């Protein structure tokens, strides 16, 4: 008689490595972390580090944008295009990474994405002209697009249904950690070096993620039961499968949801540093100080949103913070000239709301797709949304010529309205077991 546990029991000893006492003590503030077990915690560390460094490499551009524009003589439309091309190409990279994750494993795909975005971020620092920089930034998008989706799936398949929202919310919070590290590095580098060299140094520091790959090769592995389920399927890594009648509606509405949320987010992430420096006349150190409030709010928003997505449900959490994010954008962009103290204070709730909405994404998208095509489905919808949402930063760049950056930022609120409407076509998935 077989003693093999059923595939859906994702928290048994062979799967997570947890002891009986660890499973019994899965309550409390860090119960979600204990419940992962040793293997799951190593997967969590790898995904957390990968996404933090993904964030760091991404933000080297927005933080260096003013210096880049001056060095290459760019207008706001051209600088916005640098962000857009990164996000558009990331759709291709994310979709391909999802297929690789389904066919060859989550950890292998994760390492490939980290190496790709690290190599091409460094290459950006050697760009001799705008056109070369645009190409390198596009290639960086190949790796940037896949890291989050693959890392989120890796951890989701270790996490229990009870804690999945909090666990993936904690993974999402690493974006704020990487953002903060980039802001600190920006403040140091641009304070010590001439701007013509400082922006290059910022990109060169993007080599840091390569160190993470060495650690991941030795310490991280896929969830064993998820591997077993994938290997038994004939449709693993199939784009066709996510567009079949049973998943077509999910794919379309999940892509629309991702478009709205990321359109709003990347509008702010791309243009707030420029807004603070050019329209609010803040110094490098002053810009870094204001970003501290924004990033602190973002970090707490990710953690709070993860908790609420388990308590309220995936859809309610996203609805709540879509509304609050739109309100915060409108308030932030219309602060009167000279009221920089209010600008400082409002940075915290803005960062909080625009980040809390992301906390449910990792669990929600993972739960919408079966194991065999989970990487493909999540990679495609998240990154297609990122690519279409990339139109928003470019639109803001062109509108800024006549509206000013502050006025054009309001355009980002439209994205959150799109996200709220997309939820009407998606089911609630809280409590769903993954196998």
Higher pLDDT, 409 or 125: 125
pLDDT band of residue 347 (cuts 50, 70, 90) is: confident
In the 8-state DSSP scheme, what is residue 339?
-
C-alpha dist (Å) from residue 181 to 46, 58, 192, 202, 249? 17, 12, 17, 11, 39
CA distance 69 to 405: 15
Residue reference for tokens 């666990």: 167
| pLDDT at site 317 | 94
Evaluate the CA torsion angle 310, 311, 315, 321 in order and state its sign.
Answer: negative
Q: How far is CA 210 from CA 12, 112, 117, 213, 217, in A?
A: 33, 10, 9, 5, 11
Measured distance CA(240)–CA(222) in Å, rounded: 24
CA 83, 147, 319: angle at the middle one, nearest 5?
75
Q: Tens digits of per-residue pLDDT, 205-224?
A: 988 777 777 787 778 898 88
Is pLDDT above 60 for 6?
A: no
Give the residue, 265 or 73, on which the prediction is more confident: 73
Mean pLDDT of 298-308: 91
Q: What is the pLDDT of residue 75?
A: 86
Of the listed ranges 264-273, 298-307, 412-421, the least confidently predicted one is: 264-273
* Position 238 confidence tier, pLDDT thresholds 50, 70, 90: confident
pLDDT of residue 183: 87
Lowest model confidence (mean pLDDT) among 224-228, 247-251, 323-327: 224-228
- pLDDT band for position 280 (50/70/90)? low
- Please check whether residue 98 is in contact with residue 149, taking contact to mean a CB–CB distance below 8 angstroms: yes
pLDDT per position as a tens digit, 362-397: 899 999 999 889 999 998 998 888 888 878 777 777
- pLDDT tens profile 163-214: 899 999 999 889 888 988 998 999 899 999 999 999 999 999 988 777 777 7
Candidate from 22-26, 119-123, 141-145, 261-265 with smallest mean pLDDT: 22-26
Which pLDDT belongs to residue 275? 67
Tell me the C-alpha distance between 142 and 112, whole Å: 10
pLDDT at 70: 92
- What's the confidence (pLDDT) of residue 274? 67
What is the arithmetic mean of pLDDT over 129-139? 94
* pLDDT, position 276: 67
Higher pLDDT, 5 or 214: 214
In a 3-state reduction of DSSP, which class is residue 102? helix
Which is nearest to 114 in space by CA: 45, 207, 182?
207
């Amino acid at each position: 008689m077989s003693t093999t546990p059923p595939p859906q029991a994702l928290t048994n000893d062979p799967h997570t490595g947890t002891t009986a006492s660890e499973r019994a003590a899965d309550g409390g503030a860090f119960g979600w972390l204990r419940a992962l077990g040793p293997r799951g915690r190593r997967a969590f560390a790898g995904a957390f580090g990968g996404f933090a460094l993904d964030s760091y490499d991404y933000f080297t551009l927005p933080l260096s944008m003013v210096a880049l524009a001056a060095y290459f003589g760019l207008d706001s439309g051209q600088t916005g295009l640098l962000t857009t091309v990164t996000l558009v190409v990331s759709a291709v990279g994310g979709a391909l990474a999802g297929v690789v994750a389904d066919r060859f494993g989550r950890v292998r795909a994760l390492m490939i994405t980290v190496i790709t975005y690290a190599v091409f971020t460094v290459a950006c620092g050697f760009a001799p002209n705008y056109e070369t920089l645009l190409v390198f930034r596009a290639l960086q998008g190949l790796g940037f697009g896949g890291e989050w989706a693959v890392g989120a799936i890796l951890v989701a398949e270790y996490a229990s249904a009870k804690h999945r929202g909090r666990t993936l919310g904690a993974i999402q919070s690493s974006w704020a950690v990487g953002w903060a590290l980039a802001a600190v590095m920006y403040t140091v580098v641009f304070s010590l070096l001439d701007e013509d060299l400082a922006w290059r140094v910022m990109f060169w520091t993007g080599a840091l993620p390569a160190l993470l790959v060495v650690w991941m090769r030795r310490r991280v592995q896929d969830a064993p039961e998820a591997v077993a389920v994938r290997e038994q399927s004939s449709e693993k890594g199939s784009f066709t499968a996510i567009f079949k009648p049973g998943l077509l509606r999910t794919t379309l509405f999940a892509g629309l949801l991702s478009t709205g949320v990321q359109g709003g987010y990347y509008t702010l992430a791309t243009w707030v540093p420029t807004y603070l420096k050019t329209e609010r006349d803040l110094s490098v150190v002053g810009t870094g100080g204001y970003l501290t409030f924004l990033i602190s709010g973002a970090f707490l928003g990710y953690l709070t949103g993860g908790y609420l997505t388990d308590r309220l449900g995936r859809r309610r959490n996203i609805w709540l913070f879509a509304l609050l994010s739109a309100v915060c954008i409108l308030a932030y962009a219309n602060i009167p000239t000279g009221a920089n103290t209010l600008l400082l204070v409002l940075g915290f709730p803005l960062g909080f709301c625009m980040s809390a909405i992301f906390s449910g994404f990792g669990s929600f998208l993972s739960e919408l797709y079966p194991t065999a095509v989970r990487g493909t489905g999540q990679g495609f919808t998240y990154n297609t949304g990122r690519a279409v949402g990339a139109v928003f930063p470019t639109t803001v760049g062109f509108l800024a010529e006549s509206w000013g950056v502050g006025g054009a930022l309001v355009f980002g609120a439209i994205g959150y309205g799109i996200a709220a409407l997309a939820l009407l076509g998606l089911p609630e998935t809280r409590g769903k077991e993954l196998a």
